[in-house]
Structure 1
Amino acid sequence: MEFFRIINKQVTEKQLQDTIKPSSLEDYTVTMQFIEDSNPNFLGLTLWGEFLISYDKIKGGIRFTLLDCPNALSWTITTGFPPEREQILIHCTINRTKKPDEFIEEINEFLDEWEQGLKTKF
């Protein structure tokens, strides 16, 4: 399943990469916390529990992945590409085609938090 948020803010790839880091998660969302570094990944707390999380700088921005999540939840925060080249795009995926409505609502709430955090910080 795929989920999207488009945020009407103009930033650069470098601004995203320099500003959004594992240690700054709490600046963007209240349901995530950085616990400890575990090179090259980190241990983090989410609304679904504690996970080993990867953080990667990618073309256009950054990517987070919950490495030990049974749903393979991953999200990117990018700019400079379609569908909105001049805005921030959050793209989230899970490795399922169907999930209970409650879980889908939680993902949407999670993305809403990120959207609000990005609007506030940028």
Structure 2
Amino acid sequence: MEYFKIVNVRTTEEKIREALTLENLEQMSTQLIQLGQPDEREVSIGSIWGEFTLSRDIIRGGLRFALVECPNALAWTVTTGFSPAPESIVLHLTINRQQKKPSFTEEIEDFLEDQKQCLEAVFNRKDAGVHG
């Protein structure tokens, strides 16, 4: 299953990478709690779904995050410059299931909405976005 959320802010992939680090997860979501010290690309986190290793990878257009031990292989990207909204940030989350309970789908949608609100706050600051 896949889910999309458009964040109506202008920025660059470099700014996404600078702003969204494992050291400052609160910039990205109020639903991810850092449980340990991050290394270069992973950190232990707590979430509504339990405790996991969160990985962070640089990809074209921004970043990919994944819950490494998640039985649903939950992963999401934070990118800009591509369809469906090249002038905005696109959140794209996937799980390796074709169907899930409506309650799980609602939790995913809430998670993406929380990220959208956090990213709007971060990238609408004058020092963070792209301004003409």
Distance 2:27 2:56 in 1: 16
Deviation of 1:27 (Å) = 2.5
Provide structure 2 residue ranges, at least 5 long, that are not aligned to the other structure: 124-132
Provide structure 1 residue ranges, at least 5 long, that are not aligned to the other structure: none
Question: How many pairs were matched up?
Answer: 122
Distance 1:13 1:40 in 2: 17
Give the match for residue 17 of structure 2. Answer: 17
Distance 2:68 2:26 in 1: 20
Give the match for residue 105 of structure 1. Answer: 106
Give the match for residue 8 of structure 2. Answer: 8
Deviation of 1:21 (Å) = 0.8
* Cα gap change, 1:52 to 1:87, in 2 (>3 Å): same
- SS for the counterpart of 2:116 is helix
What amino acid sits opposite 1:121 in the alignment?
Answer: V
Contact 2:42 2:54 in 1 (8 A): yes
Deviation of 1:91 (Å) = 0.1
Distance 1:71 1:55 in 2: 17
Deviation of 1:33 (Å) = 1.4
- SS for the counterpart of 2:35 is strand
Give the match for residue 54 of structure 2. Answer: 53
Deviation of 1:40 (Å) = 3.8
State TM-score, norm by structure 1. 0.95
Distance 2:16 2:27 in 1: 13
Deviation of 1:39 (Å) = 5.0
State TM-score, norm by structure 2. 0.88
Deviation of 1:38 (Å) = 4.7
Give the match for residue 116 of structure 2. Answer: 115
Give the match for residue 95 of structure 1. Answer: 96
